[in-house]
Amino acid sequence: MGSHLAFALSALFALQQTTCALPNNQHRLEGRAYSRPCTAATFPKPNILGAQILSVNAMTVMNSTGLGVDIPGLSIVNRTNYCQVNVTYTHPGVGDSLTVQTLLPLEGWNGRFVGIGGGGFTAGALSIFSDQFMNAGYACAFTDGGLPSQDGGDPKNWALKSANNVDYQRLIDFAWKSLDELPKIGKQMVQDYYGKPPSKSYWRGCSTGGRQGLISAQRFPENYDGILAEAPAAYWTQLLPTLFSPTAVMNDEGYYPEACELDAITQFGIDACDGLDGVKDGIVSAPDLCKFDPRSVVGKSFTCGATNKTVTAKGAAVVSRIWHGVTKKDGSFLWYPYNVGADLTQTAHTTQYLNGTRGAVPNGLGEEWLQWFVLKDPNVNLATAKYPEFEDLFYRSVQEYDSIIGTSDADLSKFKAAGGKMITWHGTQDPLIPPGSSIHYWSSVNATVPQTDDFYRLFLGPGNGHCGPKLTNPLATGYYPATVFQQLVDWVEKGIAPTQLLGTDLLQRTQPLCQWPLVARYTGKGNSSSAASFTCAKSY
């Protein structure tokens, strides 16, 4: 039940990494202190259409220190001094309450503003994850989306107004409405404090934060000059049931594999498909070429703790179905699969009961969505749900909620016309959000808006997990594009469109992340651990 918080923390982990690699700010006003006091009197109540401002509070925060993940290890950013402004408001007549928090560096503001996204049912990051941006001179802001952030936005505290009645207003606030009000309020705080508006505005978020970036481009195309939407939780109404689908698969098969069996089959798959891109690096960089059949390793041995075991036919069947993707009753396509190499224990979690039998433990975020929003009954036990029931829940999720939170609109023509630029990157071994969904969205935009590459580009991160390196295997973590935010800024401000992102793993190996649909092909010469030995090509 705690997966909504874990989902949020995965996105926040990526925030820590990305914000360490921020632009060199040649326009930053080094050492300049701002004379306006950090008090509520400096910040008049902003005028937001349809909103009533309940309070504006300001406080000075000194010597804030944040941790950042700077591959390959941890780094501590410099101490940051800033003015924190909280604006709390409501939409009259609907009974909600939302807060936007804006963080304004006391000195060295670089003239830019950045909105920061959240994860799971958490709409925005905690301020500690903003220290890296402020240390680089950014004013930044995030919203709570009207949901309690201290518990990861747990639906039990807000989803239902009464029995069988969803609080649609709070869902709308979280899904999209707060995302228009965030930059309007944040930029006004910037204007009030520094005496001028930001020169450029950006969005940065992964997972839910990535979805928030996409919906900002779709619904509010003039709010940001640049959007970094990483591993976006787009197609939310298909994604959340997909998180639950391995439970239905295991119940169908009547078999609940231990984590070590799932890991063993996954590793057999990695070993079989690792070299398809021409390089043996412990990473499946060409998942679309991987034809590994789990049934081929039935009977092969693996270690489970101190015990030797063998791959079972039932275990192979479970993994095969998960890798095949979410399907209809007749086996035809319903939604995208997790790739070979993804950590299946994130969604195919099981437990052993006291009587020695095993059972499924549904992914918390997927289960909660189906219970609280689709069935509107948190007491329904879905741990034993099978595929026919699951397919019905999948359709109900899409039918009822796609217009609210689906985030599937491919017409980004207004975002393009406004001059916006957007980058999405997605790890090929993401265990929560299938990378096929990002490919599907980019392809839909490409089929809808001419010259998509002029404003929107997609990159796949070989071997990466959700929002960052796949830390379950320190020898094959994936190639993480630590400088991607810098490249977005360069695209917006210098017109340098990225054709590849530089990926680095925890062993300091480098490889390019090529602009989709190109792939990183090893030239056959030079060090295969160096990006210089690769070229972006149409095929391997």
CA–CA separation, 246 and 387 (whole Å):
10
CA angle 165, 168, 171 (to 5 degrees): 125
Which of the following is catalytic: 430, 437, 505, 533? 430
In SS3 terms, 400-456 reads as HHHHHHCCCCCCCHHHHHCCCEEEEEEECCCCCCCHHHHHHHHHHHHHHCCCHHHCE
Pairing verdict, β 350-352 and 358-360 = antiparallel
139 vs 509: CA distance, rounded Å: 33
Cα–Cα–Cα angle for 261, 265, 269, rounded to 5 degrees: 165
> Alpha-carbon distance 461 to 504, whole Å?
10
Distance, CA of 449 to CA of 254 (rounded, Å)? 46
Phi-psi region at 383: left, alpha or beta (left = phi > 0; alpha = psi -120 to 50): alpha
Catalytic residue among 64, 130, 207, 285: 207
Q: How many CB atoms lie within 10 A of CB 249?
A: 25
Among candidates 253, 259, 230, which has minimal Cα distance to 460? Answer: 230
Do 464 and 505 touch, CB atoms closer than 8 A? Answer: no
Tokens of 507: 């062993």
**CB distance 518 to 536 below 8 Å:** yes
207 catalytic, yes or no? yes
Q: Which of 4, 466, 505, 533 is catalytic?
A: 466
Find all residues with CB under 8 Å of 30, minimum gap 6, and list them: 107, 108
Rounded CA separation 463/416 (Å) = 31
Alpha helices in 298-427 (DSSP H): 313-324, 364-368, 387-405, 413-417
Query: Could you list the active site residues?
Result: 207, 430, 466
